[in-house]
Amino acid sequence: MADTSLARKAGLGDTPPLAGGEHAFFTFWLEGEEYGLDLSLVREIVKIKEISVTPLPAAPPFIAGLLSLRGTVIPLVNLKLRLGLSSAPSLPLPEGGRIVVCSFREDAFGLVVDRVSGVVHVTNDRLEDPPEHMSPAQAEFIERIGKYDVRERHRVTEYVPGEGAPAGPESGPPAAAAGGRPSARRIVAILRAQKIVDFGFEEVEGG
């Protein structure tokens, strides 16, 4: 991982720190592990049972298909396949799952996830480089590891843009909302959006 610092610099450009050196991440579950993305990239959450997906032949397998969303067509990324967590075919999509609609540098895309977790704020001192023992394939996608206390997590089940900060349906301070949830340390793997949307096409396809 010779280019970690460079990549991190590029990554930091996408993750503007909040006041007080905090970053806000949107987190979700994949195969029992928690992953996060910079909150500013997330546009909305869509239930899989409410949409229909158009298969896109001739695309890489990790592209589950096309999703038509209010007049625009966006690619749907099977994140499990993309991260090498599973090799099951993309379609049909898991019924209870969700699609996290994101946009990175004005390009919109959807991520298929098992379950949405919430929004966490992580201070700079609790963001770390990914562990060394990760497989190279995964290391490409994981920018950093964040640590947080589960009581600090805001739950989000539905997030529609333009309806205020995604503090979630449970408003109020997180600790109170958690209703005396016991303190528990969690870790979340922060994904590198730029890598996810780099579908590996050459500019001009040869031959």
Site for other proteins, rule CB under 8 A: 52, 54-59, 63, 66-68, 71-75, 107-109, 197, 199-202, 204-207
Choose between 18 and 66: whose C-beta lies nearer to other proteins: 66
Minimum CB separation from other proteins for residue 173, in Å? 33
Maximal C-alpha separation, the chain: 62
CA dist., res. 37 & res. 194, Å (int) = 11
Minimum CB separation from other proteins for residue 151, in Å? 37
Choose between 59 and 167: whose C-beta lies nearer to other proteins: 59
Minimum CB separation from other proteins for residue 58, in Å? 5
* Token output for 165: 């900060």
Choose between 163 and 201: whose C-beta lies nearer to other proteins: 201
Choose between 55 and 173: whose C-beta lies nearer to other proteins: 55
Using DSSP's 3-state secondary structure scheme, residue 171 falls into coil
CA dist., res. 76 & res. 74, Å (int) = 6
> In DSSP terms, which residues pair with 69 in a beta bridge?
72
Minimum CB separation from other proteins for residue 204, in Å? 5
Spatial neighbors of 96 by CB under 8 A, at least 6 apart, are 48, 49, 114, 115
The DSSP letter of residue 96 is T
